[in-house]
Structure 1
Amino acid sequence: TNVAQYLWLRLLAQGSKNICCVGDDDQSIYGWRGAEVGNILRFEKDFPGAKIIRLEQNYRSTSNILNAASAVIAKNENRMGKTLWSEADEGEKIAVRGLWDGQAEARFVAEEIERLHSKKESLNNIAVLVRAGFQTRAFEDRFNTLAIPHRVIGGARFYERMEIRDALAYFRVVMQPNDDLALERIINTPKRGLGAATIQTLQTHARAANTHLSEAIDMLVDTDELSPKAKNTLSLLTADFVRWRENIDTMHHCDLAKMILDESGYTEMWKNDKSPEAPGRLENLKELVSAMEEYESFAEFMEYVSLVMENQENQHTEMVTIMTLHGAKGLEFDYVFLAGWEEGLFPSQRSMDEQGAKGLEEERRLAYVGITRAKKKAYITHAANRMTYGKWMNCLPSRFVDELPADAIEVAAESGIYGSGAGRSQHWDSSGRREQQFNRDDIPNFSKNRVTQTEDGEELKSGTRIFHDKFGYGKIIHIDGNKLDIAFEKAGRKRVLKNFIKKA
């Protein structure tokens, strides 16, 4: 309940002891929309003599899952406290996996889902839960590649989201000036002062001249059929598209994408938007640019997106569920993958910046909710590197990983992902003191040593030193069919086709 609802409840209950409330303070995760956990915490004070009945038996999860969730939530100071127990057996330990980056994380999750499905586990009983909406993109892409049926609950699929469709429309017009549908979508987005009458005039002229909308614009800016303001606006927009188009072969496609979104005013539009959805839309735009880094060119990326959009129909009886942690409250799945457990991402840095210790406690409750969605087994994954707006960011495992009890988890990480301190997790507590909770330098390496060959028959495998005409020297990190993840000495980590490299 929010504060106003609680005050009304207290007012209505005055002079009467006939009031019964049910709730779980450890699952209060909607503070951002007004819910107040303090309503439960002060109930005994506001209603002296109230009898508190703790419903501690859990009928869903195994003991290992409950013990892990309990250990994490116990770090919160503002809670009533309870001891969960279950008649179910101990069950499998929670699998904690450290991966090199977001792509490796998506690969691990997809491969583990395929393994579970091969053992006759229903895809309907498997869920991937993320902290933020933009994180779904990597899993959607990977599942599409492997033809794993899936659904995104609580929102549109990544490439169907409004801001992504707008951005893609800009990219399509840059590549294909005669794409009328794309141009119509963004011609006045953001607002450029082009009214409905102006756009109608352009469409009517295009139909009458049996030509495309872009050509109709070129014709009409030299006539008196449009107002001076409209002609100036359209001339500037047309010039922008010409300039962006000229850069397709000379600029890196990620840099060009950022230029288009910035210079068109589209990014700024969402920065100035005060709606609750705006920060998420900006995160999605950054994730879109990061996704493009996985492809060799603008054209290759747009071709992939077109294929994805053509195969969005959910005609399967079994599908993996992808959703945010907030959307998962009240649901349960046999197998749950909790992705992106890294400092700044989860717990959310924005939440902690805005609400301090209160925000951290709500993030921890969100972790508790996520873990307890699992009935049979939970997986927790974290990446050492994340691509953000085309740039690599180093990441530390979430402090929540450190709070998991050692006897309820089994840990593994790709070798060397944290340098000489492989597997060492560090964090800062609420006082700013740096803590080192555990050291797992002997973490086993579970990555697969795949091998492929160049067109000349030279063997390529993880660790092989190579040369790329554009990016220079580098070392192969992972092999995925004909695509290689390579850590370049100067260009950073990139995914390239094996046809474009040679053994150094």
Structure 2
Amino acid sequence: MMAEAVLEGLDPDQRAVAEAVRGPVCVLAGAGTGKTRAITHRIAYAALSGVVAPQRVLAVTFTTRAAGELRARLRQLGVPGVQARTFHAAALRQLTYFWPRVIGGEPPKIIESKIGLVADAARACRLSLGRTELRDVASEIEWSKVTQRRPEDYAAAIATSGRRPPADIVDVARVYAMYEQLRRERNLLDFEGMLELTAAVLTEHREVAGQVREQYRHFVVDEFQDVNPLQKLLLDTWLGDRDDLCVVGDPNQTIYSFTGASASHLLDFTRDHPGATVVELVRDYRSTPQVVRLANGVIGQAKGGHPLHLVAQRPDGPEPVFTQYDDEVAEADDTARRARKLIDEGVPAREIAILYRINAQSEAYEAALAAAGVPYVLRGAERFFERPEVREAVVRLRGAARAGADAETDGTGLILTVRHVLSGAGFSDRPPEGAGAARARWESLAALAQLAEDMAADDPRAGLPEFVAELEERAAAQHAPPLEGVTLASLHAAKGLEWDAVFLAGLTDGMLPIVYAETPAQLEEERRLLYVGITRARVHLGLSWSLSRSPGDSRRRRPSRFLDGLTGGAATPAPPRAERTRRRAAKGPQPCRVCGRPLTAAVERKLGRCEDCPSELNEDLLVALKEWRAKVSEEQRIPAYVVFTDATLQAIAEHAPGSLEELARIPGVGKVKLDRYGETVLGLCGA
């Protein structure tokens, strides 16, 4: 790929970033403005034009998933040699390499979690701490270490920071001191210690610093608003007296101050680097104008900061819907109903998310979605690539690739090959009934099958070896494919993600802002958290709150103060409770229209009868529908079941609908398919 070709398709601001090939450069990138596209094209343009050597570039991110995405995009742009790592991964790599030379002896063992060591430290201090208290104290120790506070400094740091300690200040300081003592005695190293020790090695050993700085001459740091003091120390150590640095971030998405992160490093960049090039990215390609307008309204009320006013680039969409409920049960029930409606209209379940302030809020939505028959995925649960069925599937796919089991020609061949291999692991076109282990296993395999379809759509020439390589890259980066279910996640966990439809739930004062946000800085961070939630939505956005916790409680709550003046005066009234009760009752077993027996199997519910009951099937119509489906499948290069499943075609052939309204009542015919195929199907029925 030629250097100039890399610049094609970039908007003027993204192009300005790409062409600023030498640092210092500061990119202020609003939500949905294509920051990853801008910085990857900047690296590619600099490398392909000969300004930098790819192997001399270190791109630093905050998650292995983001690092994997950077590497993948750079490979597509013809620059595969760039190192993209998290701060911790880069530090560990350097520390491991130089350890025998500058320190020697047995290297320390890296601890993944502090909880166990904190528990031992608490016992040594004769303190009894529960699981939640241990977790909170571990977080407090982490904050102290990233902000460079020692145990003896902890009490003074709390007094000046306005931070609320999870336990008695003296007790936390004692546990912190004992934690450090036990860690040294057991030759253990936590993540913060890893960064600190790497910086110390570079500072104290000039020859090591020279070797690292010779290797990495150009730096790119993503999400710079989330850098904490310890990470900034390591970055400065890597740089030395050079300034070939490009930082990218959005001050409006600073939501991790409680971990020690500070947007000051981003906002003060030009003070630290006079003469730096500053580019603002404000063209929002993710969200509709209606969503962008609300996001601007929320962040526009912020006190201080550096608000980036987003400019929507997408066509108009529906207005955000504000809904007030009597209680949390009603809110969860109706949110599940609205998610079900979107799915019926053709929005994939994996493109819908319900976001809340704290994880404890998920329980009501899990129950409501299960009652509504809507599959869901809890973000932050077990790692996808560590699931037994996924490990087995990857082994099978790897073996098939080595055996040359790949199809010959196009993307359809890849899809069929992957589905065939997965069938050996238990995958089928029809999901199992219920929501137990069998369903979870099927959904994992279905996510792999969907990933193959996505890859084939992006590159019809891709084969099984390329697919296996993609899986291995994703596994290393813990970049899981989207599972087929509505995502349930906290607002913090949702950062960096996006969906077609987002429901922001529980937006009451005391929850957002959270009750313990008291200082002006803490309240503004809560506002930014709402802004992050809003900007996750591409098209559909719902915002809701309830006036009480449980049915019958007094209605004392009020909507979040961050919504003042933005709801258009009044919220959409929720459906009456009686109506919701009837709707839920209707979710019981559907009776067979022939014998009246309750229908439990999905295919039977779709047909409206038991499979062995007499049917009024029009055989000629079914044949015509299948021939039409095969033609569409071939023309669009998609599996036949993606057009309509066999069960849906059989239901159409039995009912022979005469209008779009009648066709829409058949399960499996959502709005998207009705718009795309409805008239043709009706024509076949009429013939």
1 or 2 for the larger relative contact order (CA 8 Å, sep ≥6)?
Answer: 1
Length-normalised TM-score, structure 2: 0.37
Q: Which has the larger radius of gyration?
A: 2
